Amino acid sequence: MITEGELQGLAHAGTKEAISKIEKYLQTEEDVEKRAYAELALEECELFYYQPMSEKEEEEFTLCELIRRKEDEIMNLMLEKERVNSRFEKLALEEKVHKKVLAVHKNKKNDWKDNNLADFLARDEDELKQVQSDLAYVEAWVAEARKMITTERYKKMPARHLEHFDFNFGEKFSKDEKDLYDDNCDCCDEPPF
């Protein structure tokens, strides 16, 4: 049992040990309000713990965000690969049936030969190769980027921690990101990302 005061002390400690104690507390605490307070304490503790203390750490901290983004890209590419592969398999099956239809209905071969399935199969095969190539590159990029992180506490920093920071990098916002920004909000001049 940890009191609110102790949670606050752990939050301000900003150490690996404090994070561990708060996480253990969260695993056992059942009271919703106490859990909510502990989650806030964990966020604050992580804020202190992961705060960059040098130019090198600042660079590695930013690299962690770039890795997080690339990992999101990997997930999207894997979904895209699965989607294209499924479509390719469906078209291959359709092509197989089409050939059987033409073999059975030889008198209709000229009428039914132009169904474009072969073109669609070739397109999907090319798209699948490109997605696989893109996926391999991004995975290699992440592997190399991870090797560049030498600050021990950044090697296993939770991705959720990075969500609290503005890593805009001067990029334009996607429609989805713009939808998250409340234009009527007077608390800031720019979207929080």
| pLDDT value for 53 | 94
**Average pLDDT of the residues in 4-19:** 95
Query: Helices 117-148 and 55-104: crossing angle, nearest 10°?
Result: 160
| pLDDT value for 176 | 61
| pLDDT class of 84 with cuts at 50, 70, 90 | very high
Query: Helices 16-28 and 32-50: crossing angle, nearest 10°?
Result: 160
| pLDDT class of 106 with cuts at 50, 70, 90 | confident
Distance in angstroms (rounded) separating the CA atoms of residues 183 and 190 = 9
- The residue ranges of every structural domain in the chain are 4-50, 55-180
What is the SS3 assignment for 11?
helix
- Tell me: pLDDT of 185 over 60: no
Whether residue 88 contacts residue 125, with contact meaning beta carbons closer than 8 Å, is answered with: yes
148's CB contacts (< 8 A; 6+ apart) are 60, 63
| pLDDT class of 116 with cuts at 50, 70, 90 | confident
| pLDDT value for 125 | 92
**Average pLDDT of the residues in 76-94:** 94
Distance in angstroms (rounded) separating the CA atoms of residues 73 and 164 = 20
Distance in angstroms (rounded) separating the CA atoms of residues 10 and 7 = 5
pLDDT tens-place string over residues 125-182? 999 999 999 999 999 999 999 999 999 999 989 888 887 777 776 666 666 655 554 5
Name the residue with higher pLDDT: 24 or 162: 24
Distance in angstroms (rounded) separating the CA atoms of residues 21 and 131 = 43
SS3 content of the chain, % helix, strand, coil (to 5): 75, 0, 25
